[in-house]
A and B are shown apart, each in its own frame.
Chain A
Amino acid sequence: MLSFLPQLVVSGIASGMLYALMALSMTVGYRATTVVNFGHGDMLMLGAYASYVLVVGFGLPVGPAVVLAAALLFLVGVAAQRFLMQPIIGGPHLSLAMMALAVGYALRGLARIEWGNDVLKLPRAYPSGAFMFGSVVVTTDDLVISAAVLALLVALYVVFNMTAVGRVIQAVFQTQRGAALVGINVRAFHATMWGVAAALGAVGGVLMALIVPLTPDIGVATLVRGFAAMTLGGFGSLQGAVIGGLLLGIMEKLLGFYVSTVFIDITAYLVTILVLLIRPKGLFGQHATLRI
């Protein structure tokens, strides 16, 4: 039984990379605006469909299609923040959460109207196959997903920590009022970061569609896993989101194999509930409760 462990961990890391990207994109949006986007899963879904349409409908190569889909979702994110969230930003949190949730549902409804419950398959830009490393099987999908997410993580790390833009972002993450006082346009920043979060989600959606059938509900399941990863890592922590995502991916595989396959579906829910009851600040969180 234990001999399967390396295989499970490796497979877990691949799906964990996706959860990490999901959690990270949600954290970027959350840190920028202090609003949790309950519709974020549907940004991911829309990104996957956008690249599907660009590839299958318009015959674009996969690479440019993904970039274009991310750019489109950036605009969707900016528009959602600017025209729907910004007007009520000072209102009750309940309204903000409901607005984000409703935007997500609207997108999902549109996707369902257009594509119904068809199960679409996103074409791959590379031959699908697998490699053997000792006794461990690694699929090309696993490799592509991990490489893409790692590249994004490195890019984000560089932008956040080594550029002038990154310093602006960190400033607003720390204190919005302070950032506004030193001349940062916080409003424009909010919209931009929602766009960035949506674009990151879109890339996540494309990668997700490599291993999971593309349906209008693809985002919701991922949203819950993203929340679980964020909670586990510590809500609002960037590195926590990544580590939480990886751990969640591995835990799903381990629980699914050593306990029962039925646990794969609910690992995320159990993790969320247990972490919030036992250690609400997670692994790397700063605050036990959210004060906004």
Chain B
Amino acid sequence: MATGRRLFWLIPLLLLPVPIFLDQYRQYVANLILVYVPVGVGFNVVVGNLGQLAFSNVAFFGIGAYTSGILMLKLGLPWWLTVLPAGVMGGVAGAAASVPALRGVRLFYLAIMTLAFGELMRWVYIRWEPVTGGSFGMAVPEPSVLGWALNVESRKFYAFLVLVVVVIVLTDRLLRSRFGRAFVAIRGNEEAAAAMGIPTDRYILLGFAWGGFVVGIAGSMYAALVGHLSPASFDLTELILQFAIIMVGGLGSLVGSVLGAALLTAAPEFFRDLPGFEELLFALLIIVVILFLPRGLASLLARAHPVFDDRYFRE
């Protein structure tokens, strides 16, 4: 099993020559997919592994993106130095979003409150005009890594690939440790987990903070990729895309997050001039998955070969 999993390292290696075959636009779409892998990974930790109904993922994403954008534009920092602060801000927001969960505000309350948090952040982007550029948004300077300008899409691809691999490896470690097992115990039955001596509050805080951190990093990548941040990018249509990624990919599965991001991220690009289709498509996908494939596409892969089974436990 462990040797089988080592084969996963082949995936980034196989991706290395990809930019040779792609034109600028397709490369941009590929980069966008890389941005959404950590979006799915972080979201899935909170919703899939921890079992918390939190709608605040778009807020973490936006906070990460704006943190990078503001640090680059206002302080003149190079992009690579803003990645970690963006993650930290996302993590802080994640920890803050978990406070209601810690206070016993669960299930639908948490959902409502985190929904309010997400919309509140969008209001902040619009109203905090001197810093965020308001409704018109903010132009993000050209990203660079150690003086190496990421001025073509293929360079961004390699920078993102490194970040994505780091995020996935760390999240995999986390989920396979006692923390990850505690997350699943909390998802299954929080009182029972607490009765077994698991400090559930601490783990919920940690899960949210890690989710926010990872998604914050994704936000930073997004800022570097699109070069322009506007509040409209972090609205409720964005939320349904992010939900679709983890639901279609597979709740509580790292493989599922990657799969969902790879398959769905490009979809909005096809529907640019067709308002409404994106919402309809993602909604229908979620409905079909809930009814017929509750554990998402990852469960099909897991059935095909055990190496893809990353549930870390038996049900």
Contact = CB atoms under 8 A, between A and B. Distances in A.
Interface of A: 36, 38, 84, 87-88, 91-95, 97-99, 101-106, 108-114, 116-117, 216, 220, 224, 227-228, 231, 235, 262, 265-266, 268-270, 272-273, 276-277, 280, 288-290, 292
Contacts of B291: 84, 87-88
Given A231-B112, A277-B100, A93 B276 contact: no
Interface residues of B, dominant DSSP: helix
Nearest to B100: A276
Interface of B: 47, 51, 53, 99-100, 103-109, 111-113, 115-117, 119-120, 123, 127, 236, 240, 243, 247, 251, 274-284, 286-287, 290-291, 294
Contact of A262 (B127, B247, B287): B127
Interface residues of A, dominant DSSP: helix
Contacts of B294: 91, 95
Contacts of B278: 109
Contacts of B247: 98
Given A111-B276, A276-B109, A277-B103, A102 B53 contact: no
Contact of B104 (A36, A117, A288): A288
B240 A227 contact: no
Nearest to A262: B127
Given A102-B282, A109-B278, A227-B115, 20 more contacts: A93-B107, A93-B108, A95-B294, A97-B111, A104-B283, A105-B282, A106-B283, A108-B276, A109-B279, A109-B281, A112-B275, A113-B274, A113-B276, A114-B276, A224-B115, A227-B116, A265-B123, A277-B99, A288-B104, A289-B106
Contacts of A36: 108, 111-112
Given A97-B53, A290-B106, A290-B109, A106 B284 contact: yes
A98 B286 contact: yes
Contact of A289 (B104, B117, B119, B282): B104
Nearest to A99: B290
A266 to B, nearest CB: 5
Contact of A106 (B117, B119, B120, B287): B287
In this complex, the member of B47, B276, B281, B286 whose beta carbon has the largest number of chain A beta carbons within 10 angstroms is B276
Contact of A220 (B47, B51, B236, B290): B236
A197 to B, nearest CB: 15
16 contacts: A38-B111, A87-B291, A92-B51, A95-B290, A97-B111, A101-B286, A102-B240, A103-B287, A109-B278, A113-B277, A266-B123, A269-B119, A272-B112, A273-B113, A288-B104, A292-B107
